[in-house]
Every structure is written in structure tokens, then in C-alpha cells.
Amino acid sequence: MTSKTPLWLALALGITLGGMTHAADNISPAAKDPNLWLENIDGTKQLDWVKQQNAETVKKYADSDAFKQLDARLLEVLDSNERIPMVSKIGDHFYNFWRDKEHPKGLWRRTTLDEYRKDKPAWETVIDLDALSAAEKENWVWHGADCLKPDYRRCIVALSRGGADADVVREFDLNDKQFVKGGFELPEAKSNVRWMDADHLYVATDFGPGSMTKSSYPRIVKEWKRGTPLASATTVYEAKDDDMSVSAMRDNTPGFQRDFVTRQIAFYDSETFVRGKDGKLTRIEVPSDANVDAHREWLLIEPRSDWSIGGKTYKSGSLLAARFDDFMAGKRDITVLFEPTDTTALDAYSWTRHQLILNVMDNVVNRLEVLTPAAGEWKREPLGGAPALSTIAAAGVDDDASDDYFLTVTGFLQPTTLYYGTLGQGDAQAIKHSPRFFDASKYDVSQHFATSKDGTRVPYFEIAPKNLKADGQNPTLQYGYGGFEISLQPAYSGNVGRAWLEKGGVYVIANIRGGGEYGPRWHKAALKANRLRAYEDFAAVSQDLFARKITSPAHLGAMGGSNGGLLMGNMLTLYPQLYGAIVSQVALLDMQRYTHLSAGASWIAEYGDPDKPQEWAWLKTFSPYANARAGQTYPPVLFTTSTRDDRVGPVHARKMYAKLSSLGYDTSFYENIEGGHGAAADNKQAAFMSALGYTYLWEHVK
């Protein structure tokens, strides 16, 4: 059970479906699409085409001394040994995954708390991914580990080839620091694997034909016993073919061991069941769009719609608590732990052993509260403080054993500081400081509000030189996302500082609808048929920048990735007059075929189903690939993607670039052969991709 799963984790479910295999799924648009051949992701002809476009883009934008200097400076940020090594506690040690110049693929390493507090901790290497990749002749990318408590000796380690979401799974021994010979192992697939006990796993994976959903996720979860073939594993639950996925897990908290099965119906709808020792499943009776989280004796519920029960109505975006056993027995004694207002939303929460930390946003700026369970109203008090327009976040270190917590404070101009403390024992102490990668004293951060087309007030952050002249001539980069209830909050970025601010640019973050800045209501305001609201909001921020004479269309660039890449595609086709250049990264763009490409079917709850005529009616209004046409005044646009992106897939960017190019527009394309949805498998690739985007914008909006 997890709380407030970030988009980059929630989306980490997709696998490649194989391009041309599905060309007949949507015959009408396919028959009219001259670029359909590019959907064969790994075809020789297609990859030769990719390499040709890459070479042209490199020659034009990435072959100068200025580019190479920027690339090196961005890599210096990513490889810096002064970065904070963020850790998680596993047993008695604190573990960190670390990449740098000497270890480009990375080290999984550990240390003690006493060592970690030092400026230069002594680390013990557990897995050297560079050595493993060399020995096995694979480009392994770290996908994490799940370790079995309470002794934390055995772990399930996930490794990806080249950064794809699909990975291989192997059992690992933390004492021996070796993979277990004859241990649990799964071939490459999009798998969900969790420990039951030392000899049993819950496994949801590709069991063969018919075992995956239309969304390309596991449809069946099984119980697998050590020493037996996977084929003999016992089925626990089968989801429907048009569900999104299924998973199971065991909470091994001493005294509160429970097994859960989750049927993910769609992106925002699910059913969670408690699995009894007899295998019987009992549903936790909450609305399907509510998130649930069990912790010891407590059940936490987050309704995404107003929920009326027991004669009371609980607001969408609230956090509610009930005693787990009482709730399962039919009692509905519910305590409201958080209720949103017009300006506040719950960003996240985290348990310690005895208390609950809430991270609340008020107009996209954080504050923290500590809640202590009690009869009736829970006791609450503030936790820490932070500078204006910054982000403060806290999380428990070990919710089984202590009330210790980590706290971070960061801002656009403030490098991250990491604190360690114990609730109820005074202020947390700073133990780590991120380095400064640029001179922040030259800039100011401010928050503004634009008025969208329908009158909605839309916040945005602006980072600009202190001596900024309001003459409309300032090179400005506007960034946005606007989807999946993900919030864009203040955070330090050495890359933004070096690549944009130091060169005299203004940087803007637009908190448009579709995100989570004001909770579920802000997200739902731009769902499906209302998607255009997100694009109207982004345009309104641009127009507000013009009205304030910060910049003008010729000097305004826009950038976004994934769902933000779709945003960029729509700013290109719907609002081309507002921008001097656009960069669209790992984007969805062909909304008529997106459900048939990679993991696209999983996002029908966000966008709609183009195979239903009534839903295509609205989808086509924000399908950049469908709407791009001749005779327009489109600004220059760069599309970047990755061959190994098995989540969105490279097909969207390939086809969009090919169409615009055939129509004679100024467009460029770069596809990293590795990298997955992050478009980079290591820091060197990440620095290059970042430098390419910034260089492209500077070329056109300076």
C-alpha cells in the first residue's frame, strides 16, 4: 500500500507492443497515414531513418564549441560528487543508488547512519552496475529493489535493458552481496513482484498469451513457491482484459500482517481486497476512485470525488482515517485529517512509528503538519518552516521502528538541504547540503496569476534577473505539464541555472489545470472533453508575460515532456502565434492511435478513447498529429524521444516530425537509441539531451 504515488512511478507500467503488429487495430486512420511505417519501432529501415535525422540535428545544433561547453557543464552538475546522496533505510543500513563520472551506470551502496552524517561517508558497494553490465554484456539500468523484512537479507532486484520500463527480476542476498543461484528469477517483462515470505512471492507478469491487459500490463497475479516452476504458480486473482492491471502484496508489519490484492480498473479507478488465509477476497468498501492505505491499525482514505456515507459527505481531496478492523466490520467512524479549501491541497503524507506527517500545498507553496492519532480529533502541530516560495517535504525514516524523519527544503534559487530529526525531540538538524551550481544572488523568484479564457485564476512562478527590464525583449522559457494530478513546485535545478538563467533568460513554471496544484478538482477540470482548458491556461500565462512586458512571442520558448510534450504539440498547432520556438520531449502526439501504441491504452481515463466516435469528437481537438496542416505559421519545433521508451514510445515524435517536415515546416528530431521514457540511460545521455533542448531554444528566441 502506498501513498500519493507520483506520476513517474504510477506510469512506470508500460511495455513495448511492437509497432506494426497493431497497424490493423484502427484501420481508418491507418489507411490514411503515410507515416504508419514508422510505427515499426526496431525495424532496420526505421532505425536507419532515425539515425539520418539524428545526424542532421547533431550537425545543426550539437556540433559547435558552445554546445560542447554547455553539454560538459550540465554533465558536471549531474556527475558532481557534492550532490546529496538521498537514502532509504533497509534493515540497519541506509542505501543509495549513485551515478558519477567513474560509475556511469551506477552503484547500489550502503552505509550506517553515523557514517551518513559525515561530510564524506564511507560507502560499501552492494551492486556495481558497470561491472555487472560488462560481465553480462548488457546495458543494465537500475530499476530498484524490494527487500523482505524483518531481517532484510533477501531482495528482489529489477534491472532494465537500456532503460525500458520492462525489466528482468532476480533474487539477491544482501549479506553475501550476490545474486542467489537457483533463486527467484523472471525474464524481461513488465512485472509486479512482491514478497510474501522467504519462500513465496506474489507475481504479476507475462504468463503467456492472454495474461496481459489491453493496456499491456499484467492481468493475472499468482502465488509462486520457491523451487517450483513459474508455470505451477497458483492463481490469486484474474482481472478483466480491459482493466488496466492487477497486483498483490503482503504487509509484513509485525502484529498487522495483511495481504492485499488490487484490481486497477483504470488509471484513477481501482478495487482493493483483503486476502484471507483461506484465499477469500474481501473488498475494502470505498468508492472506486478513492485511494486507500493501511498502516498498522489505521486505514487512510483519499476520495477523489465527494463521498457521502453514514449521513456525512466528505470532500474530494480530503484525507480520512478509520480503524482498519472496525471499517472492515462495517463501522463507519471516520475522522477527517485534511479537508481542502479553495487554495489548499494535500500534496503527500508519510507515517512514522507513532505519527503522520502531512505535506499541504497552499497556492503551490508547502507547509507541514504532524498529526498524532487520538480518539476523535487527532492532535496536530506544525513541523519546521521554509523560506518563501520554496518546497518543504518530510518523510518517515522507518515507520516500523521510530519517529525519525528526513526533511528537505529546496527552492528555485536555494540548493536542497537535507535534515534529520525525531518528532517530538526538537528541531531537525541539517546534515547534507546540495552544492550551488550558479550564482543565485543575481535573480528573484516571484509568483503571479494569469486569467484563463474561462476566468480561472492560474498561478505561475517566474525566475528572472533582478535588473530585468520590462521591455518585452527578454528570452523566456515557459515550462508546463498539466496532467495526471502532478504538481510543479519550486525546486533547485543546476541545469536550469547554467543553461538558461546564466545566459540572461527568464524561466517560468506554469501551474495549469490538469495538474494537482489544487487537488483533484484542478486535475478534473482538464480531463477528457475538458482538455483544452489546460492549453488555454498555458496560453493565458504566455499572454500575461506579454502584458507584463516580460517577453514577446519572438523571444518566448516553450518546453514540456511526456504529457507536457502533448501540451507542447498543442501549443504548436493551437497557439503558434505565441511562441518563437518549442521543444517537445517523449511526447504523446497522435491521439487517434495512442491507445494502440506502447502503453497508451492505460491513459484512456485521462484523455478518452479515440475508438469511440463520441470521444474522438473531443480527442481530435487536441491531437497535434491530426491537426497539423499546411499553410500555418508554426514556430520552429524540436521533437526528442527514445527508441527504448516503451511507455509513450518513439512513434509519436517520429510521425509528427515526418508530417511537419513533409509540409515544409522548420522542424528537427532526435531519438536516443537508449534511455526509456526518461530519454537517457545515464548522466552523459541526460546531459546531452538537456543541452540539445536548451541550445535549440537559444538558437531561436535569443
Give me the CATH number covering residue 536.
3.40.50.1820
| Higher local confidence (pLDDT), 157 or 385 | 157
- pLDDT recorded at residue 537: 98
Residue 644 lies in a domain: yes
Cα 316 to Cα 306, 336, 533: the distances in Å are 5, 12, 20
* Residue of 103, 143, 596, 677 marked active site: 677
Residue 281 in any domain: the answer is no
Residue 383 maps to a domain: no
Identify whether residues 463 and 612 lie together within a single domain. yes
- Of all residues in the chain, the percent with pLDDT exceeding 90 is 92
Report if residue 597 sits inside a domain. yes
Beta bridge partners of 90: 93
Query: Does pLDDT of 1 surpass 70?
Result: no
Q: What confidence score (pLDDT) does residue 30 get?
A: 52
Question: How many CB atoms neighbour CB 62 within 10 A?
Answer: 18
Q: Is the pLDDT of residue 399 over 70?
A: yes
**pLDDT score recorded for residue 676:** 84
**495-522 confidence digits (pLDDT tens):** 999 999 999 999 999 999 999 999 999 9
Q: Is residue 317 part of a domain?
A: no
pLDDT at position 387:
81
Note if 402 is an active site residue: no
Strand, helix or coil for residue 692: helix
Catalytic one of 562, 584, 598, 690: 562
DSSP states along 321-389: EEEHHHHHTT----EEEE---SSEEEEEEEE-SS-EEEEEEETTEEEEEEEE--SSSPEEEE-----TT
Q: Is residue 308 among the annotated active site residues?
A: no
Q: How many residues does the chain have?
A: 702
Residues 203 and 63 both lie in one domain? no
- Tell me whether residue 513 is in a domain: yes
**pLDDT of 108-156, one tens digit each?**
999 999 999 999 999 999 999 999 999 999 999 999 999 999 999 999 9
Look at residues 251, 278, 293 and tell me which one is the last residue of a structural domain: 251
This prediction's pTM: 0.93
* End-of-domain residue from the set 216, 233, 251: 251
pLDDT of residue 680: 84
Asked which of 228, 251, 274 is the last residue of a domain, the reply is 251
* Sign of torsion over alpha carbons 584, 586, 587, 592: positive
Alpha-carbon gap, residue 224 to 250, rounded angstroms: 13
Question: What local confidence, expressed as pLDDT, does residue 576 receive?
Answer: 98
Residue position matching grid coordinates 561547453: 69
The domain of 578 spans 40-75+437-701
Is the residue at 69 inside a domain? yes
Percent of the chain with pLDDT over 70: 96
Residues 201 and 193: their CA atoms lie apart, in Å, by 7
Mean pLDDT of 293-317: 97
Q: What pLDDT score does 31 carry?
A: 56
How many distinct structural domains can be found in the chain?
A: 2
Partners of 109 in beta bridges:
96, 125
Q: Are residues 543 and 686 in the same domain?
A: yes
